Amino acid sequence: MHALRFRAPLLAFLSLILIGHPGRSHAQQAPPTDAPSVGYHVAVNPQARTFLVTGTLNNIGRDTIIFHFPIWGPGAYDIMNFGGYVSAFTATSSTGRGLKVVRADTSTFLIIGRDRAIRIAYRVHDIGFTPKSLWFGLSDIEKDFAFANTPAIFGYPDGYKDIPYSVGYEPPKGWDLAVALDPAAGRNNYLAHDYDELVDAPVQMGKFQRIEVVIKGKPHIITVTAPRALSAKTSAQLAEATRKAVTIISDFFGDMPYNRYLFQHYLVEPKLGDNNFGALEHRNSSTYRMPLEGAGTVDGLLPVIAHEYWHLWSPKRAHVAQLGPFDYQSPPRTASLWFAEGFTEYYAQLLLRRNGLADPATALAVLSQEVAGGRGKKQEQAIADLSMKISEVPVMEILPLYSKGPLIGLLMDAAIRSQTGNAKSLDDAMRYFNQEYGKTGKTFTDQEIIPIIERATGARLSEFYDRYIAGTDPLPFDQYLPAIGLKIVTEYKEKPTLGGEYERADSGWRIIALTPGGSADKMGMRVGDVITQVVTSTGPIDPRQVLPAYVDVIATLDDVTGFTFVRDGAPRTVDARISIGNVATVRVILDPDATAAAVANRIALIGL
């Protein structure tokens, strides 16, 4: 779940893309006057925190039009029922005669009465925040800016998603506008080939910084909404780092399948308990909500930018059938988000590392933590099963897609290289997906992913899938890390520890084993208790923010004053008593005794 660009010539052309200008995109012409089409106009009322939407449904040949709002948004997956934020829905004929409108359910309206041009109007209320969803998948109207992931704004007549749509935006006076649609005639007017394209282009309004650049002859735009302007130095660093990421990933696939790309950034001052950070990919844009951290802004944003930009190829273009064209009334159920999200995160990290844009020591440290937490342990649930539940569970419960998914990518890559003598790799498979599916528009099924990878590489991976993706066997670190020249070493050190083993629970960490005389034991905790809160001098920490494998990170904090845990349905709070224990520390290092073949695999894989 999870950009920037640069300075360059063609500023006038880039301004046309962002701010609107007379002229029509060559990519799409206005539909014939007798053809079905939908045209929208969107204004903003910051005081009432509403979008004011009007529209015209042209040549929709139905006596009763079933008009839907999406119940979910692509990439965000969670069920939102966007129609629940819509009010004052009206419809009139071309002559101004009022038409009957019936609200059939939360997200569906019935418009009764046929006409060549039915005019509709409604208000969309600000969402801003829900406990289950992330900000960049919603809408937010503040006194000085407005943002919308556009499934929150636009509906569609049933059966008419594949017709041309257009939209004119009317930002408040003095506000700028950024959207990645093709410009149309008139200021702030845009065209979309169909409904999918319309709602895959979030809109950003307000006063924001804009950085413009041309990469490989194509315009890229970075917009930044933040409490304070980025310095010239930080802007330049961000632009240059992103240029490198874009170049690396587009070079990997050998194409750049868009006419322009827009990176919409919202950078905020971090606040205690605010973990609503991340990003969301779109057809030729991506939206980010990340902490504003001064000089650290670039380092923090770069891997997120790489992740979202990779999504341009997978899954925006090469994807299973459930991920496009979309059924906006039923969230997708796919068992392959380990591929769409996990492999994306794998390559976002891997390509930056290969090209000197990520610290190898940090990468090995992160891998060491994952190995320490999962080595020899049965997985809590199959990652394929978690994929199927993504629209049903809280955001924190899908974290393994982004932590375990990259590990599966690494281990599968190692398996392919081992089986083929480094002649083939997962790289070959990803390029094959782009060539055979991304460029042709063909989709595939969950069940076809492994056979496609096998076809592209010549490796045998069905057992790997059955055991580690569809199954819950412990991940095969000891089998495959040596094959890529890495060695697992275990050292014992005296360090603060809670003492025990933990697994994820709905409300925190469940204790599954205790070290006698360890910290948790001394604090009166028992096997089966669920730790629901870590009390610190600066405020509470929700344990679900930290994966159970990293539980001892909490033990090393200086300001932990207590814990709340639940036993038999009753909460209890105890003072912190953190003691020192002899803790096994697992490290992954470059194997000094690796074979020449393993070293060659490692160099080809991670450049070390």
* Over residues 458-486, mean pLDDT: 96
Ranked by mean pLDDT, which of 2-6, 100-104, 352-356, 368-372 comes out on top?
100-104
* Over residues 494-513, mean pLDDT: 87
CB neighbour class for 492 (10 Å; exposed up to 12, middle 13-18, buried from 19): exposed
Q: Within 10 Å of residue 522's Cβ, how many Cβ atoms?
A: 15
pLDDT band at 23 (very low <50, low <70, confident <90, very high): very low
Check residue 396 and give its pLDDT.
67
Listed range (85-89, 425-429, 475-479, 577-581) with the worst mean pLDDT: 577-581
* Over residues 511-520, mean pLDDT: 91
Q: Confirm if 312 and 281 have CB atoms less than 8 A apart.
A: yes
State both tokens at 505: 């629970």
Element (H, E) at 110: strand 108-112
DSSP reduced 3-state for 147: strand
* Over residues 14-25, mean pLDDT: 29
DSSP reduced 3-state for 385: helix
pLDDT band at 413 (very low <50, low <70, confident <90, very high): very high
DSSP reduced 3-state for 228: coil
Domain spans of the chain, in order of start? 11-310, 321-485+592-606, 490-587
Check residue 272 and give its pLDDT.
63
pTM of the model: 0.85
Percent of the chain residues past pLDDT 90, beyond the cut: 68
Find the length of the chain: 608
Decide if pLDDT at 320 tops 60: yes
pLDDT band at 285 (very low <50, low <70, confident <90, very high): very high
Check residue 18 and give its pLDDT.
30
Decide if pLDDT at 450 tops 90: yes
Pick the residue with more confidence: 359 or 253? 253
Please state which CATH class domain 11-310 belongs to: mainly beta
Decide if pLDDT at 526 tops 70: yes
Pick the residue with more confidence: 10 or 55? 55
DSSP reduced 3-state for 524: coil
Secondary structure letter of residue 518 according to DSSP: S
Decide if pLDDT at 520 tops 90: yes
Q: Kindly provide the b/e burial profile for residues 411-438, where b requires at least 16 CB atoms within 10 angstroms of the residue's own CB.
A: bbbbbbbbbeebebbbbbbbbbbbeebb
Pick the residue with more confidence: 22 or 147? 147
Q: Confirm if 195 and 151 have CB atoms less than 8 A apart.
A: no
Decide if pLDDT at 447 tops 90: yes
With tokens 């610190």, the residue in question is 536
Please state which CATH class domain 321-485+592-606 belongs to: mainly alpha
Q: Confirm if 432 and 456 have CB atoms less than 8 A apart.
A: yes
State both tokens at 382: 């199959």
Decide if pLDDT at 433 tops 60: yes
- Mean pLDDT, the chain, rounded, equals 89
Check residue 25 and give its pLDDT.
32
Q: Tell me the Ramachandran region of residue 441: left when phi exceeds 0, alpha when psi lies from -120 to 50, beta otherwise.
A: left
Check residue 296 and give its pLDDT.
67
Fold of 490-587: Pdz3 Domain (2.30.42)
Question: Per residue in 225-243, pLDDT tens?
Answer: 999 999 999 999 889 988 9
Percent of the chain residues past pLDDT 70, beyond the cut: 93
pLDDT band at 294 (very low <50, low <70, confident <90, very high): low
Check residue 392 and give its pLDDT.
76
Q: Confirm if 195 and 165 have CB atoms less than 8 A apart.
A: yes
Decide if pLDDT at 345 tops 80: yes
Residue type, 285: S
Q: Within 10 Å of residue 595's Cβ, how many Cβ atoms?
A: 12
Check residue 270 and give its pLDDT.
79
